[in-house]
Chain A
């Protein structure tokens, strides 16, 4: 297989050239010695590439002579460019021919030879590959966000450097682990970015586009690798052959002479940001450690127990009667430390929401371009921290909401001008902490929700009666109903009516609440209130007989002791309560769970108005104990089919309390 050998050699040679280029750019010409080129010449010779060997040798000779630094830089960079072309073949467009296969081979021809080493390395370096996937993912996220910054300020050198370095790292890692496709792609992008860095190429939106597309492809590849690691053979997704070509074309796009010498000047070489790759990576490793979530959960368990133990000691009657000031002081100290430990443990699962916002920014950009609307995306509160699971679950709702804003909310350019509005639309997202919850808000300055249109659609779908008046709030809630879309036509962005119900479902799954505000002609604002963490839940502790239960506070509307006048019976068995003019069914928790209650008479106990999927009902319990924040625990496999119970938590006295699943209780109420 001579072709394969040539390709592999080409890759090796190319790597050497790349390495030299990087050093030249980052560290300046002083870091390059003639010996480097001699070595390159030697390798080229070994691989039978006489032309490259000769060229490298002559560069080495030119460099050896004493010349001023700028001249040496020019020689080195010109030389590297020349060598690269020798390897690539004069015209990148000719890769379809067999004369000069572009190294590394385009996926079409290169798939087979590269499949083999990849399979082997997958098995051998599993840990390394996982690391690679994780690390590349982080770099891709950085690249995405930086690219959007770059688009706003296309001369930002720091930004370009960051993107360049990230791609470079991905390329290096991919090369090391023999993921030739990723390596090839990252390499092309790097070359393109290099041109931009050295001011030979102006960063245009089309360049940003092509680089963004590349990050997507790399992401896909990473997913495929992850699937292969997991033992599943993913559908062989060969990435777009044309992408590499397009990247190259973009690189030539604004430069009349692709062969023109790269203007590596002293300024770029001495840029303070331009630190060597290795230093940066080491710094990153030192500040964070990957931890198995199982260990985190165990730590959470133990901390919870510690808090309980501490409380028990604190309220021990023997201690309460003591006058030993020192003991009291020590106990206070212990209490403080305990709560600190608890806080830190909880915060260990927290991540800043900014990552999700960056992703959303990316979506807004793409969709706005496709919808041909000018939209500015503004994010605030990116540093707000929330549970990692919630942050991840939030990305879908965010996506659907901005899609809606772009497609339904923000008017077209002409329309906005006609209305006398700012021709550029705005989408704002923000996140902040508010009374122990996180509030994520998305607003646009579009046309707002159309009351009448929603009503008409809802009637047509039979979601509401044709008569009866609804408040604005109630009408707006209708947009979360499945199948309700007010877009006149189904666009490829939205209009199929699946978006907003997905949002609601996700938010409910996260035990959150979604509110909507809108003003015709001025825009729409959605705010999602979420718990800070899924590990903790704010609950109402209620008592029934000997048992205690926790009712999640987000499902509770109000609670009261009913009077006889409020109660009525339907057909002798269905009990109902009249609450503020609305008749609600009563579910007796003791009957539902078949336990012995202390209170059978409704007027002696407490009714809790709870909400299940928007439908209110009353839950009858003996009484309330109080409100408490508890750590949620699963009940384990053996109890997973228990209806009406979402999990359990350890209460302040160390006993276990079951957390009620309000939806489950409501469903099985008969």
Chain B
């Protein structure tokens, strides 16, 4: 819970058009945290399968899988966010996202602890990301949504899955 409270103290680095943020979100969780990502970018959700590991890559890149003839990379979101690794369970799944990286559409799978629901968020549900103070850059947070007393962290998945460093969020979540 402590992490959630500290997240609330931040302010968005990139001011976003509030209206644009409204829409359907896929909510998944990593531990107790709940995150949201635009449903439009979700390609599919699949159970965990054999992942072929790739040498010489950061630990959060688990490897590649075969998605109907296409080979796509898989990222462990827990590791990517610098959270403690947990053993995979029956609820662990791979959310395949269609992201835009360096002018190119790319499919990337992300391993999450479990998928919760799909929420229709209105503009009024979404608040700006609070300011975490100087030195903490959170370009991949688009905002926070408070639904039924629970906070969902909304992610800009293109930023999350880009090659850029995740120092900011990992520092926060530790």
Chain A residues within CB distance 8 Å of chain B = 301-302, 304-305, 546-548, 592-595, 633-639, 641-645, 648, 650, 654-658
Contacts and interface: CB of A to CB of B under 8 A. Distances in A.
6 contacts: A302-B69, A645-B54, A648-B71, A656-B71, A657-B52, A658-B54
Contacts of A636: 71-73, 106
A648 B57 CA distance: 16
Contacts of A594: 55
A301 B55 contact: no
Given A637-B104, A638-B163, A656-B64, A648 B52 contact: yes
> What is the interface residue range for chain B against chain A?
20 to 34
A633 B71 CA distance: 8
A641 B55 CA distance: 10
B50 interface: yes
Interface in B53-85: 53-57, 63-66, 68-73
B90 interface: no
A642 B71 CA distance: 16
A305 B72 CA distance: 15
A595 B53 CA distance: 9
A301 B56 contact: no
Interface of A is mostly: mixed
A639 B57 CA distance: 8
Nearest to A654: B66
Contact of A547 (B53, B72, B163): B53
Given A547-B52, A638-B163, 4 more contacts: A304-B69, A305-B68, A633-B71, A636-B71
B66 A650 contact: yes
B102 interface: yes
Contacts of A657: 52
A329 to B, nearest CB: 28
A656 B57 contact: no
Nearest to A631: B69
Contacts, number: 68
A316 B50 CA distance: 19
Contacts of B50: 655
A645 B55 contact: yes
A635 B65 CA distance: 11
Contacts of A302: 68-69
Contact of B66 (A546, A639, A656): A656
B75 to A, nearest CB: 10
A643 B50 CA distance: 22
Given A642-B56, A645-B54, A645-B55, A650 B69 contact: yes
Contact of A638 (B55, B68, B73): B73
A501 B54 CA distance: 33
Contacts of B102: 637
Tell which of B69, B72, B101 has the most Cβ of chain A within 10 Å: B69
A305 B55 contact: no
A635 B54 contact: yes
Contacts of B69: 301-302, 304-305, 650
Interface in B27-57: 50, 52-57
Contacts of B55: 592-595, 642-645
Contact of B64 (A304, A595, A648, A654): A648
Contact of B71 (A592, A635, A637, A643): A635
A644 B68 CA distance: 25
Contacts of A648: 52, 64, 71
A657 B71 CA distance: 10
A307 B55 CA distance: 28
A302 B71 CA distance: 12
B109 to A, nearest CB: 12
A642 B54 contact: yes
Contacts of A658: 52, 54
B56 A643 contact: yes
A642 B57 contact: yes
Nearest to A545: B53
